Amino acid sequence: MSWEIREGLKYTRTHEWVCFEGELVTVGITDYAQDMLKDVVYVELPEVGQEAQAGESLAVVESVKAVSDLYAPVDGEVLEVNELLLDQPELLNEDPYGEAWVVKIKIAPGYKNPGLLEKDGYAALVKEEAAK
């Protein structure tokens, strides 16, 4: 089996993708994450203006069977949430790297890039987890 892992993005060990644009990051769940969940039926989004703490739950993604957290990849403040997902949670299955981005976070001043994975590192992690 293979899952799309995009060039130019960073990844967390908890299967979020992170796109850096200056002081701003856009966060979503990876293709592997959506395939493991299957059938996303509900997304609980944070409030705009809410504080984000790296490694802490920021949103909740629910499939028919499972409830799973989306963890903030950086410290900062929630700038925007993707309200499209409230009515169309299935977008997370259909277009996880595109239309189904989840939150945009303004990185806290002075916050240093934590141990996010590059494409190859994340590919290795997925390979390892899929083999379990």
Partner 1 sequence: MVELQRTPLYQKHLALKGDLVEYGGWLMPVQYEGIITEVRQTRRKAGLFDTSHMGEFLVEGPGAAEFLQEILTNDLSNLDDGRVIYSPACYPHGGTVDDLLIYFYHAEKYLLVVNAANTAKDYAWFSEKLRPGVSLSDLSAEMALIAIQGPNSLAALLALTRAPLEQLPYYHFIPEVELAGIKCLVSRTGYTGEDGFEIFCDPDSAVQLWDELQEVGQVRALGLTPAGLGARDVLRLEASLPLYGHELSEEITPLEAGLSRFVSFKKGAFTGREALLQQREEGLTRQLAGLILLDRGVLREGYPVFDGETKIGEVSSGTYSPTLNQSIGMAFILPGKTVPGTRVEVVIRGKTHRAQIVKTPFYRREKR
Residues forming contacts to partner 1 in the complex (CB under 8 A) are 38-39, 41-42, 44, 60, 62-65, 67, 86
Angle at 71 between CA 67 and CA 75, to 5 degrees: 155
CA dist 38 to 17, 33, 60, 65, 96, Å?
17, 8, 14, 9, 12
CB 35 within 8 A of CB 91: no
- Pick 23 or 56: Cβ nearer partner 1: 56
**In the block, residue with structure tokens 């981005």:** 101
Taking the complex as a whole, the smallest distance from the CB of residue 41 to partner 1 amounts, in Å, to: 4
Taking the complex as a whole, the smallest distance from the CB of residue 49 to partner 1 amounts, in Å, to: 17
Which two three-digit tokens encode residue 131?
Answer: 């083999």
Taking the complex as a whole, the smallest distance from the CB of residue 10 to partner 1 amounts, in Å, to: 28
Which two three-digit tokens encode residue 27?
Answer: 């966060």
**In the block, residue with structure tokens 């949103």:** 59
- Pick 51 or 62: Cβ nearer partner 1: 62
Taking the complex as a whole, the smallest distance from the CB of residue 79 to partner 1 amounts, in Å, to: 22
- Pick 41 or 125: Cβ nearer partner 1: 41
- Pick 20 or 35: Cβ nearer partner 1: 35
